[in-house]
Amino acid sequence: MKAAKMKSLRPLALISFMAAAPAFADDPRWRDCRTCHMVEAPDGSILARGGRSGPNLFGIAGRPLAADSAFRFYSDDLRAAADTGARWSEENFLAYMANPDQFLRSVTGNEQAESGMHVEMRNGAREVFDYLRSLSN
């Protein structure tokens, strides 16, 4: 009985998160991101307002690195990391957010690799990834 009750609670947790997702747009973690990034759906709907100096983060969960074809300013090192076939898995996103340069150095093997992003997020990156994933579904 207890296992059945636990399974029935999972959809409630998902619904609670989805209901909270729009409120995340005001969260300080997203405020740092939105300085450079926005989330715009393919139909042009703005799902999360933000800057345009960074790539659109719509559909980032699972897509290849440097895959926003409308963004032309990826660093050479991020493009090199993309050439390895790396994707924005949750694990890669968290590693990148914690230390973008170190992530690129690890993926490319280039000890001089640098990211164009100058923000490190050691806490809360998982919530940002979940937020972005929720906007892209």
- Has residue 5 got a pLDDT over 70? no
Where residue 118 falls among pLDDT bands split at 50, 70, 90? confident
Residue 42 falls inside a structural domain:
yes
What CA dihedral angle connects 4, 5, 10 and 12, to 10 degrees? 140
- Has residue 121 got a pLDDT over 70? yes
- Has residue 2 got a pLDDT over 60? no
* DSSP at 61: T
Non-local CB neighbours of 6 within 8 Å, separated by 6+ positions: none
Residue 67 falls inside a structural domain:
yes
Task: Tokens for 16, please give them.
Answer: 């609670």
Measured CA to CA in angstroms, residue 109 lies from 21, 39, 68, 77 at distances of 36, 31, 23, 10
First-to-last C-alpha distance (Å) of the chain: 32
For residues 16-21, average pLDDT: 44
For residues 47-74, average pLDDT: 94
Q: Report the pLDDT value the prediction gives residue 1, as an integer from 0 to 100.
A: 44
Backbone dihedral region of 62: left (phi > 0), alpha (psi from -120 to 50 degrees) or beta? Answer: left
- Has residue 12 got a pLDDT over 50? no
Task: Tokens for 116, please give them.
Answer: 């164009």
> What CATH number does residue 45 fall under?
1.10.760.10
CA 63 to chain centre: 10
Q: Report the pLDDT value the prediction gives residue 18, as an integer from 0 to 100.
A: 43
Q: Report the pLDDT value the prediction gives residue 16, as an integer from 0 to 100.
A: 39
Residue 5 falls inside a structural domain:
no
Residue 1 falls inside a structural domain:
no
Q: What is the pLDDT of residues 20-51, one digit of tens each?
A: 455 676 777 788 888 999 999 999 999 889 99
Q: What are phi and psi of 5, to 5 degrees?
A: -65, -40
Range of the domain at 66: 24-135
How many domains does the structure of the chain reveal? Answer: 1
User: For the chain, what percentages of helix, strand and coil (3-state, to nearest 5) are there?
Assistant: 50, 5, 45
